[in-house]
Chain A
C-alpha cells in the first residue's frame, strides 16, 4: 500500500528528526496544540494543554506551593533550568522530577502521537524546565499503544472521558475497595466534572484519571453523565471527533506503522545523518534494524552485542510462532 495516500501521524513526523539525532522542538500548530521536545534524537518532553504537565503535577496536586514554582521559573527560565532550581532549593528530588517528567511526557504523547496535524520543527529549542529523562521514540510509541489498549479494555466507549462523572448514590454490594486515586476522583466528583477536569483539579495525569474512571464505570461505581461543558473536555472531544473523521480509512491503532519516506529533515548540522539502509525497498521488518540503531544509546542494557540480541529476538519470535501453531 502506498504511504503517500495518507497524511503522516505526529509519531511518524517525529521519526526522521529522531533518526537524525537532532535537538529541537516539534511545535504543533493545529488544535489542541502542543510541543514535543527532542534532545539528541531522543524524546525529552512533550506538552499539550489537554494533558497535565510537570507544573500542574507539582502545584495542583499540592506537592509544591504555586509561589515556589513561580520563583523557580523566574530564576531558571532563561537558562532552561527551572528543574535544577527546584532541586537545588531542596523542594523536590531529582528522581521525583524525572519521574514526573516521564509521566507528563507519556500523558501528552497519548493525546498527540496519533493526530494528523501540521507541525513546525524549531532547531535547538529546549524546554525551560531543563534536562529530564529522555526516551526512545519507539518506547514512547509502544507506551502510547499500550495505554490505548488499556483504556479500551477497561471501558470501550471513549465518550466517558469527556462526560460528567456520576458516582452511584447507592451500591448494591456490601462494601467496596478503592485505590487512593479512585477515592480522590469520587471525593471530588461534583456531578459536573469530567475525568479531564478532575485530572486538572487534582494535579494528576489525565490518562490515569481517565483509566480509573473507566475501571470504576466497569465495576458499576460511577456512570457517565452529560458531556462535560468545560473548555478542556470540549477541546478533547472535538480533537477526537476530527481525528475519527479524518482517519476513517486508516486503522485505529497503527502500531506497526512505518515512517513514510516523506519530510526528511533538511540535513541540519546533524552529527551523523543516518546513512543506513536508505535505499531499502521494503521497510517492513523494522524491529531488528531499529534495535541496532538504538543499541549504543541504551544505558540500561547490560550485555550482549547487537548481533546476539537480534538473533535472540528472532529466536523468541520463532518460538512464539511455533507455539502458536
Chain B
C-alpha cells in the first residue's frame, strides 16, 4: 500500500503515510532556513502539545553543521538521523530545485519503530516532491 504510485498526493497524504508507519510519533514538513512548519501530523513541531521551537531549532542546528561535514565528494546529504533518548529523529532533505531547503522530519520510537523502513518510506515520499 505504501508504494501505490497513481493519484495526486498532497502534503497531508504524505504526512499521513509517514504516520502510518509503526512507531512514528510525529511527521512534519519544514522549511528550514525560516524554520516554518509547512505541515505537521502527530506530535512534534507544529502541533499544540509540544514545543515546536525545540524541534525546529534542533533541525536548524543540525542542518547548519551536518550539511558541510560530508566525507569525500561533498554537497549531497540525503538524510540525517539523530539517535536520542526519546527516539530517532530523522530528517530527509528534499533535493528538487525549489525545495532544496525543505526537510521531511519524523520522530520515531526507538523500541517500536524500524529505522530502515522509515528511511525507505521517507525516500518514497520525497520522490513525490519532484516533478519528473
- A residues whose Cβ falls under 8 Å from a Cβ of B: 57-58, 61-63, 87, 90-96, 98-100, 102-103, 106, 133, 143, 146-147, 150, 177, 179-181, 205, 207-208, 211-212, 291, 299-302, 309, 312-313, 316
Contact = CB atoms under 8 A, between A and B. Distances in A.
Interface centre among A103, A181, A312, A313, by most chain B C-beta atoms within 10 angstroms, is: A103
B34 A147 contact: yes
Interface stretch (B37-45, B81-89, B107-115, B116-124): B37-45
Contacts of B1: none
B101 A180 contact: yes
A300 B40 CA distance: 7
B34 A300 contact: no
Given A93-B129, A102-B38, A133-B39, A212 B97 contact: no
Contact of B31 (A90, A103, A179): A103
Interface of B: 8-12, 14-15, 19, 29, 31, 33-42, 46-49, 53, 64, 67-68, 96-102, 128-132
A207 B34 contact: yes
Contacts, number: 105
Given A179-B64, A300-B40, A300-B42, 7 more contacts: A62-B97, A93-B130, A94-B9, A95-B10, A99-B99, A133-B11, A179-B67
A33 B112 CA distance: 52
Given A95-B9, A99-B11, A299-B12, A181 B129 contact: no
19 contacts: A87-B8, A93-B129, A94-B9, A96-B96, A96-B129, A98-B10, A133-B10, A133-B39, A143-B36, A146-B53, A150-B35, A181-B33, A181-B101, A208-B31, A208-B34, A211-B34, A300-B40, A309-B49, A316-B49
A63 B37 CA distance: 22
B97 A63 contact: yes
A261 to B, nearest CB: 26
Contact of B36 (A61, A90, A94, A106): A106
B128 A93 contact: yes
A63 B98 contact: yes
A212 B102 CA distance: 15
B34 A99 contact: no
A93 B131 contact: yes
A58 B96 CA distance: 13
Given A147-B34, A181-B33, A300 B12 contact: yes
B129 A95 contact: yes
Contacts of B96: 96
A103 B99 CA distance: 11
Contacts of B67: 179
A57 B98 CA distance: 8
Nearest to B132: A90
A99 B99 CA distance: 9
